[in-house]
Structure formats: structure tokens, C-alpha cells
């Protein structure tokens, strides 16, 4: 999409998670996409008009990128996948000849148009914490955010105001790498003055490592996740604890078995022996 003009937008239903803006098509057609970015779990497409197309995949949303005339779905699939036109809700026809199709069976995804100057103050964005891979996220910042928090450390990591966009899988994996129990209280990684303890430094390291490894592996293929080329991500083959209930802990020298508990309605996988 980047650098190309949106020639035509097909909207095949009036709503995703929320109704699409009434002037959605008018504000997009004819506009050049000047940049593609991301904030937390939101995808952003900057338009020459100064608007930003804000998109979220929700639970099951995915984009397919294809080229006019080629047809079909690019890439290979481990599971049969039809073009499922019933779930192709929005199609962008680009001046480059590419078609970018948003498919979302469960329709928890969203698309909004927000003026760029209003984006940082938008209700969906303004409370969002620092990007985990950005320089602004370090042990000082994490400890300060956790100081005084009586929730569990796992819940704090999933709190988007503490750190942006860290999902359930990566929170579990990072806690295992840092050898920290998901059940410990969040404030225990900070000193009484809110400074980071050594474990906060280890946790930030673990978060950055687990995310960088996952990006290298192409993400994790659970449920309907696909990369835009249609390939499955392979990070699930690197899970240390996630979805490994009852299996031996991979920490060298640890004889623990991975346990699954439910915290705040989400599955947590951890080793009760080496995660303190």
C-alpha cells in the first residue's frame, strides 16, 4: 500500500466490530498512502490528506495481498482456506495493481479514519503505554508502572497502559524466560521508591527478546493467524511454556512441569519450580 494510491474501496458490509465511518469510502478513494505504521495493536496507514486509516485485526482478522489478474491467495497454507468471500469485508484496490483484502470471520476487527493530529489523543490510543521494543520502554519505566500495583505481574503485563500490545502468549513466555512467577504481585519488581529491582531488568530483557524472536519467526500461528503472504508463522515451535501443559520445563536443570492456570479469564502457562 505504501506509496500507492487507493483507486477504489469495496465495502461489503456496513460494520466490523463497529460501524465503518459513513464517509469511509470518500475519504479513502483517490488518496495516496504516504506511510504504513503501527501503534500498540493498531495498524496505521497515513494518507496524503492528513487522515490516518486506523485498523485493528481483532481476534481473527487478516489481510491478503494479491495482484490483479493473478487471482487466488498467495502463499501456502497448512489448512485448507477458501477465499471465503463471505468474510472478505473490505477490499482496497491500489494504483500499483495490488489488492489488499481484509478478511475477518468473527468481525472483532475495526477500521476508523482519524486526522493525524488527533491520533495521539484518540480514546483508543491516548492511554496506551510505551512500545515494548522502543527505547522508551526500559526497566525504570516498567518498575515505575508496576510500583504500587497489587494486581498480578501477569495482569500488569497485559495492561495496555503499562506496555503496549504485549499479548497473552508473549507475556507467558517472557515471564518464563525471566524466571518470574505470573502470580507474584506487580509491585514486587520495584523497590519502595519505585526503582527497578534486578528482576525488572531481567523481565524487560525477556520481553524484548521474546518479541524479537517471534518477529524473526514470523509470528505465532494460533487460530486464524496468517502472515500477509498467507504463510503460517512459526514462533509456536519456539514456545517454552505456552500450550505445553504437563510437559517438562525447558529451563536447564529444572525438573518442573508446565502448569496451566486461569488469570483474569486468560490461560497462563508457567513452571511452578523455576518461576519465583
Separation between Cα atoms, residue 145 and residue 255, nearest integer Å = 33
Binding mask 8-27 for Zn ion (x = CB under 5 A): --------------------
Closer of 143 and 206 to Zn ion (Cβ)? 206
Report the residue from 251, 257, 260, 266 that binds Zn ion according to the rule CB under 5 A. Answer: 251
In the complex, the smallest distance separating the C-beta of residue 108 from Zn ion, rounded to whole angstroms, is 34
274 part of the interface to Zn ion, by CB under 5 A: yes
C-alpha cell at 117: 493530529
Closer of 49 and 251 to Zn ion (Cβ)? 251
Which of the stretches 151-159, 182-190, 209-217, 248-256 binds Zn ion when contact is defined by CB under 5 A? Answer: 248-256
In the complex, the smallest distance separating the C-beta of residue 267 from Zn ion, rounded to whole angstroms, is 18
271 part of the interface to Zn ion, by CB under 5 A: yes
The residue among 65, 75, 112, 120 whose CA lies nearest residue 232 is 75
Report the residue from 249, 263, 268, 270 that binds Zn ion according to the rule CB under 5 A. Answer: 249
Look-up: residue for cell 524479537? 212
Which of the stretches 40-48, 57-65, 214-222, 254-262 binds Zn ion when contact is defined by CB under 5 A? Answer: 254-262
272 part of the interface to Zn ion, by CB under 5 A: no
C-alpha cell at 109: 476487527
Closer of 199 and 271 to Zn ion (Cβ)? 271
Which of the stretches 118-126, 186-194, 224-232, 245-253 binds Zn ion when contact is defined by CB under 5 A? Answer: 245-253
Separation between Cα atoms, residue 148 and residue 146, nearest integer Å = 6
236 part of the interface to Zn ion, by CB under 5 A: no
Size of the site for Zn ion (CB under 5 A): 7
Write out the H or E segment, with its range, that includes residue 209. Answer: helix 198-217
Closer of 73 and 274 to Zn ion (Cβ)? 274
Let me know: does 251 contact 263? Beta carbons within 8 Å.
no
Residue 192 burial by Cβ neighbours in a 10 Å radius (0-12, 13-18, 19+): exposed
Closer of 54 and 249 to Zn ion (Cβ)? 249
Give exposure, 66-85, as e/b (b: 16+ Cβ within 10 Å): beeeeeebeeeeeeeeeeee
267 part of the interface to Zn ion, by CB under 5 A: no
In the complex, the smallest distance separating the C-beta of residue 242 from Zn ion, rounded to whole angstroms, is 14
The residue among 151, 146, 206 whose CA lies nearest residue 173 is 206
Longest CA span, the chain: 63
Let me know: does 112 contact 101? Beta carbons within 8 Å.
no
Closer of 117 and 276 to Zn ion (Cβ)? 276
Q: Site residues (CB under 5 A) for Zn ion?
A: 249, 251, 254, 256, 271, 273-274
Amino acid at each position: 500500500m505504501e506509496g500507492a494510491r487507493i483507486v477504489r474501496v469495496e465495502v461489503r458490509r456496513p460494520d466490523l466490530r463497529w460501524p465503518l465511518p459513513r464517509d469511509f469510502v470518500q475519504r479513502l478513494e483517490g488518496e495516496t498512502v504516504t506511510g504504513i505504521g503501527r501503534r500498540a495493536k493498531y495498524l496505521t496507514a497515513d494518507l496524503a490528506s492528513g487522515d490516518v486509516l486506523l485498523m485493528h485485526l481483532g481476534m481473527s482478522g487478516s489481510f491478503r495481498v494479491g495482484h490483479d489478474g493473478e487471482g487466488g491467495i498467495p502463499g501456502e497454507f497448512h489448512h485448507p482456506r477458501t477465499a471465503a468471500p463471505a468474510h472478505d469485508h473490505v477490499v482496497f484496490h491500489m494504483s500499483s495493481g495490488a489488492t489488499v483484502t481484509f478478511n475477518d470471520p468473527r468481525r472483532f476487527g475495526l477500521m476508523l479514519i482519524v486526522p493525524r493530529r488527533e491520533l495521539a489523543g484518540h480514546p483508543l490510543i491516548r492511554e496506551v503505554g510505551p512500545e515494548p521494543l522502543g527505547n522508551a520502554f526500559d526497566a525504570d519505566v516498567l518498575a515505575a508502572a508496576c510500583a504500587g500495583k497489587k494486581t498480578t505481574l501477569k495482569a500488569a503485563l497485559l495492561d495496555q497502559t503499562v506496555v503496549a500490545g504485549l499479548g497473552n502468549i508473549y507475556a507467558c513466555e517472557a515471564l518464563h524466560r525471566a524466571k518470574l512467577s505470573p502470580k507474584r504481585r506487580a509491585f514486587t519488581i520495584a523497590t519502595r521508591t519505585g526503582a527497578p529491582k534486578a528482576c525488572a531488568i531481567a523481565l524487560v530483557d525477556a520481553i524484548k527478546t521474546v518479541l524479537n524472536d517471534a518477529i524473526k519467526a514470523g509470528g505465532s500461528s494460533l487460530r486464524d493467524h496468517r502472515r500477509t503472504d498467507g504463510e503460517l508463522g512459526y514462533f509456536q515451535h519456539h514456545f517454552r511454556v505456552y500450550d505445553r501443559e504437563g510437559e517438562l520445563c525447558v529451563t536447564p536443570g529444572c525438573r518442573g512441569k508446565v502448569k496451566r492456570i486461569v488469570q483474569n479469564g486468560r490461560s497462563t502457562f508457567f513452571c511452578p519450580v523455576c518461576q519465583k
